[in-house]
Structure 1
Amino acid sequence: MTLPDEMTAIEIAGNGGGPEVLRPTTRPVPRPGPGQVVIRVAWAGVNRPDVAQRAGTYAPPPGASDLPGLESSGHVAAVGDGVGWNVGDAVCGLLPGGGYAEYVRTQADHVLRVPDGMALREAACLPETYFTVWSNVVMRGRLEAGERFLVHGGSSGIGTTAIQIARMLDARVWATAGTDDKCRVCADLGAEAINYRNADFVEILRDAGGANLILDMVGGDYVPRNVKALADDGRLVQIAFLQGPQVALNLAPLMMRRLTLTGSTLRPQSDLAKARIADSLRETVWPWLDAGRIGPIMDSEFALDDAANAHRRMEEGDHVGKIVLRVAGG
């Protein structure tokens, strides 16, 4: 395939701001270097880090594209030296940035095949979400069969994925959400749903024996409450701070109850670390996806040039599951 010289993309105008700063632009089509592929994008996933980057609070790491977009699906359009993919392969990829565009470049070992029977629209929702959940719940959080697991934001893309993966690992799962409809989604996926507006997750988890693992993206005053909700030897994994990263916390329970507080962000990790996560997903999770035992929960789709409204949809907080941008479709 011969790559064109230019492509349509969505850039963040100025130094960031509201959704209105997302504007169509024309950019050069990237070329692959050694160990890299260029994907002709069919669909691009929309994620919270994209919103943070647009707002100016989450800068791309050095060398990454300034364009938003951390996951996409499509077909391999060009390959660099030492790459096992072929032009035309249907893939989905974890990206360092640049997904809101007709073409994107990424490391070849951060790319995974589209699962059997899955459309490209759904496959675009896998990389950022599944890399994040698997690396934090399993590789970092060490969730095991029979353990009690709590995920906040249970109806989000991260939350719905975490519920499904935890259930596949035979854990007992709780999930918080802010409406009865969202709680029903969590319950349908196998979680014991907690409407945080009228129930106290700390009390519920303590009555059950405490959570062995909590996955949290809220932060703020949830942090001390999470500590109270943990069982002895429990683990809290922090992946975002929607209510802010600053908190007053009594550290004595960490020592007395042997608790672990940890966390991670995906984008700044090394290429090797991301490749190891991809290998683990390929070995364990992709067979579940091939068999249709788990899969992304879809909320809505928007055209590429309507990315601003996709961000508005996410910031309104009413979405359930994943939001995607239609680039070429298919």
Structure 2
Amino acid sequence: MKEAIVQQDLTVQIVDSPIPEPGPDQVVIKVVVSGSNPKDWKIPIFFKQALNTGDDIAGIVHSIGTNVFEFAPGDRVASFHEMMKPGGSFAEYAVGWAHSTFKIPAKTSFEDAATLPLAAMTSALGLYLRLRLPAPWAPATEATPLVVYGGAGAVGAFAIKLAVLSGIHPIVVVAGNGIKYVETLIDRSKGDTIIDYRSGDAAVVSGIRDALKGAKLYYAFDAVSEHNSYTNIVQVLEPDGAITLVLPGKKYEGIPDTVSQTITSVGASHGDAKDFAYVFFRYFSRGLDGGFFKPHPVEVVEGGLGGVSKALTDLKGGKASAVKYVFRIADTKGVKGTEEKL
């Protein structure tokens, strides 16, 4: 099979690799579409390691492990690949754990499904495990102000969508170029609003404070976690409030010791949050089928795996706003057109 290996300089080498075999609790998926995420460019640079960094899989089950009971060859599925492990999504075939794999409804395209696995799970972990906010099936019964910083990115946007399903309002969203898209996600009749970070830090802080209209802020989801995002938030957050951040391995200076500070790492879905991930991935599938959970907007990158290098370079350069870059594997030079009826 063809597989894209991302180098430290973000060039990509397309190599021939053997089709992987599933472990007892894994599925091997013929990848129709792969998604992408900022970590896909960060890992080769920060860890000085060349590898297939893709983790968002959408495709058709090829084979299953001996313990897998929910899936069978031919099923349309999406899956969150375990980060930094063999079998990533920048390839013709990829490996997913059964618990982090979910069925794609017939009405949902592979392109749309590929936007969900990493980003939507990050949002769910942040809101419900880290901030301990009410789940969609037991929604909030009183006003629960929430700041989502970075609302146009996939993680921030999915956090808004889930918060709405949980009856959490008012949602104060900080965004920039993607404000037009964020506007489609919020409900201004319930006090939701958007603050433009391009107006400067002082305007962001005063904008959040004005949007709260005297209400106290106890919860913040910082989907940016840099460029003063968290220092802006804590100027409005209550001293005993809670903030969750998404960038591991850094010291967040300026956050008061009294504030509950957590890191939301999606890797937990392959660690101590496996059961949580199992439940929410299936909730996403139900939401797609029911129409109450929407995917992120997509941009199909030309050339399939041959377009990975440019897409990751654009991600690194901050060019993606309110959009997910996805790759159709069949568009890759040297790959046979998929034979399944898609």
Is the structural similarity TM-score above 0.5? yes
CA contact (8 A) 2:269 2:277 kept: no
Question: Among residues 220, 224, 228, which one is paired with 1:218 in the alignment?
Answer: 224
For 1:25-174, list aligned pairs within 5 A. 25-57=15-47, 66-84=51-69, 85-97=71-83, 98-144=88-134, 145=140, 146-172=143-169, 173-174=171-172
Residues 188/54 of structure 1: CA separation in 2 closer, same or farther (3 Å cut): same
- State how far apart, in whole Å, the 1-side matches of 2:229 and 2:269 are: 29
- State how far apart, in whole Å, the 2-side matches of 1:308 and 1:26 are: 18
Aligned to 1:286: 285
Aligned to 1:236: 243
Residues 58/46 of structure 1: CA separation in 2 closer, same or farther (3 Å cut): farther
CA contact (8 A) 2:2 2:16 kept: yes
CA contact (8 A) 1:40 1:76 kept: yes
Count of residue pairs the alignment pairs up: 305
- State how far apart, in whole Å, the 2-side matches of 1:197 and 1:297 are: 23
CA contact (8 A) 2:120 2:154 kept: no
- Pairwise CA distance, 1:58: 8.2
Aligned to 2:137: none
Question: Among residues 184, 189, 195, which one is paired with 1:188 in the alignment?
Answer: 184
Identity %, equivalent residues: 24
Residues 189/251 of structure 1: CA separation in 2 closer, same or farther (3 Å cut): closer
CA contact (8 A) 1:216 1:240 kept: no
Aligned to 1:4: none
The one-letter code of the counterpart of 1:206 is R
In the superposition, the TM-score normalised over structure 1's length comes to: 0.85
- Pairwise CA distance, 1:138: 1.5
Aligned to 1:9: 3
CA RMSD for the aligned pairs? 2.3
3-state SS of paired residue (1:99): coil
- Pairwise CA distance, 1:167: 1.1
- Pairwise CA distance, 1:87: 0.7
CA contact (8 A) 2:41 2:313 kept: no
The one-letter code of the counterpart of 1:205 is I
Residues 282/219 of structure 1: CA separation in 2 closer, same or farther (3 Å cut): closer
- Pairwise CA distance, 1:247: 4.4
- State how far apart, in whole Å, the 2-side matches of 1:250 and 1:195 are: 22
Unaligned runs of 5+ in 2: 135-139, 187-191, 331-337
CA contact (8 A) 2:121 2:281 kept: no
Unaligned runs of 5+ in 1: 1-6, 61-65
3-state SS of paired residue (1:261): strand
Cα distance per residue 1:159-206 (max 9 Å; x no partner): 211111111111121221223xx1121111115111111162322223
3-state SS of paired residue (2:198): coil
